[in-house]
Amino acid sequence: MRGFLDFLIRHYFTFFFIFLQSISLALIVQYNQRQSVVLINSSNRFIGLINRKLNTIESYLSLRSENERLLQENVKLRNLLPDNYKPNRLPQTYVNDSNLSQIYQYIGCKIIHSSTHKSRNFLTVDAGSLQGVTIGNAVISSEGVVGVVKTVSKHYASVMPVINADFKVSCRLNHDDYYGSLVWDGISSRGGFLNDIPFHVKVAVGDSLFTTGYSNIFPSGIPVGTVKKVSSEGGDNFYTIAVDLVVDYKKIQSVMVVNQLLKSDMDSLSVEIDD
Amino acid sequence: MIEFYRNIARFLVLILTQIVLLNQIEISVFFNPIIVVFLVLAFPFDMPKWFALLLSFIMGLIVDAFMNTPGITSFALVTTAYFRPFVLQIIQPRGSYQSSDRPNVDSLGWNWYIKYSVVLTVLFHLVYFIILGLGHDNALISLLKTIISAVFTIVLIFLLQLFTLRHAT
């Protein structure tokens, strides 16, 4: 026993080193699992506060282009107002509210911090659990898919964007029902790869990609990107498709979090199947 | 005591530089310098070794919190702090260190300081980018990220040394 204690004391430096490194490793592993609760990240209240201060300075610099974008969106939405339309014929069916359940709830929020040139880029938004944001919610902008909510605090949430090495979303081609999974190319802030599209599918440069809705996260039909280059290299039976993402993460300032209200229903189904 | 306050001030200034300045520069994924490693380089020689480890761990967690990389910076910083005593021993000047020596250019000269800072800064960035890229990046990309970011960090550290050198004389 004494010999063992001596051994511990003599090598305390190395043991302390191993001890600290295992905490770090535990943090790394825990963070890489979905649905994990992590304290150390940008959705933390204090860090959110600092990031918000930094953002107020940044947002002044891009007010002009942001205003222009908002104007365009206003025009688009105004065109959809019911006042603009006259029914062609009298309504034939009466829709009762109790017959419909709301599937998606949209929560508008502002990006208060973002990184676009790191290996694990992140966005922090100023809506949290108090506003109804939950882990795993989709995040979209008026242009298309932005990312997925990774962690949530009371007032803030951190979002994993498409340009994060851990992100994956299933997409289908506009003219075909074939779908593959889209990942970031790891380098450019607007580039991605679409995998798993077999050779017999016709793919052309400029084709649009939309979400499938299979993942229970994104509503289906949200734009993701356009095909930039198609090549058939590599040993597999699948194309290598380079994709231009629709969202410019360097400009984006406001987004919508999509809360899928029926997600728990669907999840409980798949749990029953797993059992 | 003045030394103590100076260290605290240096700690705050560098962490702020990292968060407010370096993390906001977004040029390329390959450019991601972590200047906080300078704090580990600047630890006094007589600081207890376990305390150096603990301090690097805490500093790493603070940086991680802002960069959404929990555990990664702290892992790399603690690794650097662990290997620092061995590096110090290997590059020890003739007749070992004096009690008045500080790990800077003023005290031990450029020749010693370049060896010291380059070895530890490259080690730090190598560990950092390998852990960061696990499962995503291949070895070549991780290595390229290491070289580009480490070179920039080393240049910054040398600039810091030049700056303090002028103050001292």
Q: Is the pLDDT of residue A178 over 90?
A: no
Interchain proximity B53–A17, CB inside 8 Å: yes
pLDDT attached to residue A49? 75
pLDDT digits (tens, 9 = 90+) for A73-106: 877 777 677 655 554 444 444 444 666 667 777 8
Q: Is the pLDDT of residue B80 over 90?
A: yes
Which amino acid belongs to residue A36? S
pLDDT attached to residue A95? 43
Tokens of A176: 């075909």
Interchain proximity A21–B137, CB inside 8 Å: no
Q: Which residue has the higher pLDDT, A159 or A6?
A: A159
Q: Which of A24, A25, A117 faces B26 most closely, judged by CB atoms? A: A117
pLDDT digits (tens, 9 = 90+) for A9-26: 788 888 899 999 998 888
Q: Is the pLDDT of residue B13 over 50?
A: yes
pLDDT digits (tens, 9 = 90+) for A185-211: 888 888 898 888 888 888 888 889 998
Please report how the helices B139-168 and B105-133 are oriented relative to each other, as an axis angle in degrees rounded to 10.
Answer: 160
Domain ranges across chain A:
45-79+102-162+253-262, 169-245
B14: Cα within 13 Å, side-chain hemisphere: 24
108-137 in A: which are within 8 Å (CB) of B?
Answer: 115-120, 122
Which amino acid belongs to residue B24? Q
Which amino acid belongs to residue A181? S
CATH number of the domain located at residue range(s) B2-168 in this protein: 1.10.1760
Q: Is the pLDDT of residue A40 over 70?
A: no
Residue A245 — pLDDT band, cuts 50, 70, 90?
Answer: very high
Answer CATH for A169-245 from 2.40.10.350, 3.40.50.2300, 3.40.50.11540, 1.10.645.10: 2.40.10.350
**Pick from B120, B110, B56: which is nearest to B88 by CA?**
B120
pLDDT attached to residue B81? 94
pLDDT attached to residue A94? 42
Report the percentage of chain A scoring pLDDT > 70: 83
Chain B residues lying within 8 Å of A47, measured CB to CB? 65-66
Answer CATH for A45-79+102-162+253-262 from 2.40.50.140, 3.90.700.10, 3.40.640.10, 2.40.10.340: 2.40.10.340
Write down the mean pLDDT value for chain B: 86
Q: Which residue has the higher pLDDT, A67 or B165?
A: A67
Interchain proximity B136–A40, CB inside 8 Å: no
Interacting residues of A197 by C-beta distance below 8 A, sequence separation 6+: A173, A178, A180, A203, A238, A239, A241
Report the percentage of chain A scoring pLDDT > 90: 11
Picking from A41-55, A82-96, A237-251, which range would have the lowest pLDDT averaged per residue?
Answer: A82-96
In angstroms, what separates the C-alpha of A273 from chain B's closest C-alpha? 30
Chain B residues lying within 8 Å of A119, measured CB to CB? 29, 32, 129, 132-133, 136-137, 145
Q: Is the pLDDT of residue B164 over 80?
A: no
Determine the average pLDDT of the residues in B150-156: 93
pLDDT attached to residue A274? 64
Q: Dihedral of the CA atoms A217, A223, A229, A235 (nearest 10)?
A: 20
Residue A43 — pLDDT band, cuts 50, 70, 90?
Answer: low
Residue B166 — pLDDT band, cuts 50, 70, 90?
Answer: low
Residue B169 — pLDDT band, cuts 50, 70, 90?
Answer: very low
Write down the mean pLDDT value for chain A: 80
Determine the average pLDDT of the residues in B88-97: 83
pLDDT attached to residue A226? 92
Q: Which of A24, A27, A40 faces B78 most closely, judged by CB atoms? A: A24
pLDDT attached to residue B84? 93
pLDDT attached to residue B66? 82
H, E, C per residue of chain A:
CHHHHHHHHHCHHHHHHHHHHHHHHHHHHHHHCCCCCCCCCCCCHHHHHHHHHHHHHHHHHCHHHHHHHHHHHHHHHHHCCHHHCCCCCCCCCCCCHHHCCCCEEEEEEEEEEECCCCCECCEEECCCHHHCCCCCCEEECCCCEEEEEEEECCCCEEEEECCECCCCEEEEECCCCCEEEEEECCCCCCEEEEECCECCCCCCCCCEEEECCCCCCCCCCCEEEEEEEEECCCCCCECEEEEEECCCCCCCCEEEEEEECCHHHHHHHHHHHHC
pLDDT attached to residue B52? 92
Report the percentage of chain B scoring pLDDT > 90: 35
Domain ranges across chain B:
2-168
Can you tell me the distance from the alpha carbon of A22 to that of A25, in angstroms, rounded to the nearest whole number?
5
pLDDT attached to residue B7? 77
Q: Which helix (H) or strand (E) holds B94?
A: none
